[in-house]
Amino acid sequence: MIRIEGLSHAIGGSPILHDIDLTLPEGGVTALIGPNGAGKSTLLSLIARLQKIQAGRITVGGQEVGRTSDRDLARTLAVMAQSTHVSARLSVADLVSFGRYPWHRGRPGAIDRDHVEQALTRFDLLALRHRFLDEISGGQRQRAFVAMAYAQDTPYLLLDEPLNNLDIAAARDLMGLVRDMADRDGRTVVIVLHDINYATGFADRLVVLKDGRIAAQGQPAQIVTEALLRDVFGTSATVETLQGRPYVVV
């Protein structure tokens, strides 16, 4: 369970998040959505301790962010940040192996290698394992980063806009893999998404942010309505329901 209490955050004097209280239950995929600048990524990066918490409290699986040792937290929570800039020239297998670092601290054993093999197999990266990150497509690259987070083998997984710049095939593919991690392995996935239709199509729960506040939360079918699009996103679009899930006609 991820529990957020009284979380406020400001960057350079301008407030980004206002007194957020939020509880995300164990398991399933939760998508954070909202217009640009609503504070989705900030919220995610605070949970992932990529930024320091200014006010409020966050606990992930009972461990308080900011008080738990970095090493213990890295075994509870994996994060794929939005910027995936790597300064060294790494092969896909090297990158995925890094996911095991919190467990072996530089000395990988047989178990770590097993996990890496599993991750490479599951994310269909075996054929690419010796290729360098700058030699593969954007979709393959994002997949490799998610595979690294998967290899970290943590109950919680945070993904910040993993679909950025992906074509429809790569995006659907990646979301399928994310869905699978929640369904098959029981991981708790929190994902920031830009495209509402991917969120309604793949997530179990949505948390909608607007101007640093929670505007709505719940199952996609309950909250994605034309009224929400008008009030939160400022656009009047039609919402259609297909196979029990709402989709925005764009």
Output the smallest distance, CB 242 to another protein, in A. Answer: 36
Rule CB under 8 A: say whether 217 interacts with another protein: no
Binding-site residue total for another protein (CB under 8 A)? 35
Output the smallest distance, CB 94 to another protein, in A. Answer: 7
Of the listed pieces 63-71, 166-174, 190-198, 216-224, which binds another protein according to CB under 8 A? 63-71
Rule CB under 8 A: say whether 164 interacts with another protein: no
Rule CB under 8 A: say whether 75 interacts with another protein: yes
Rule CB under 8 A: say whether 131 interacts with another protein: no
Q: Check: CB of residue 21 under 8 Å from CB of residue 66.
A: no
Q: Check: CB of residue 25 under 8 Å from CB of residue 1.
A: yes
Of the listed pieces 3-11, 71-79, 170-178, 205-213, which binds another protein according to CB under 8 A? 71-79
Identify the CA nearest to 11 among candidates 57, 64, 69, 50.
Answer: 50
Rule CB under 8 A: say whether 106 interacts with another protein: yes
Rule CB under 8 A: say whether 50 interacts with another protein: yes
Q: Check: CB of residue 164 under 8 Å from CB of residue 158.
A: no
Rule CB under 8 A: say whether 161 interacts with another protein: no
Rule CB under 8 A: say whether 130 interacts with another protein: no
Rule CB under 8 A: say whether 153 interacts with another protein: no
Rule CB under 8 A: say whether 136 interacts with another protein: no
Rule CB under 8 A: say whether 110 interacts with another protein: no
Figure out which of the listed residues 7, 20, 80, 228 binds another protein, where binding follows CB under 8 A: 80
Q: Check: CB of residue 8 under 8 Å from CB of residue 182.
A: no
Rule CB under 8 A: say whether 101 interacts with another protein: yes
Exposed, middle or buried, 131 (CB in 10 Å: 0-12/13-18/19+)? middle
Q: Check: CB of residue 163 under 8 Å from CB of residue 171.
A: yes
Structure tokens that stand for 59 in this block = 């606990």
Output the smallest distance, CB 28 to another protein, in A. Answer: 21
Figure out which of the listed residues 70, 110, 240, 250 binds another protein, where binding follows CB under 8 A: 70
What is the Cα–Cα distance from 172 to 149, expressed in whole angstroms? Answer: 18
Q: Check: CB of residue 43 under 8 Å from CB of residue 19.
A: no
The residue ranges that bind another protein (CB under 8 A) are: 45, 48-50, 69-75, 77-81, 83-90, 94-95, 98-99, 101-102, 105-107, 149, 152
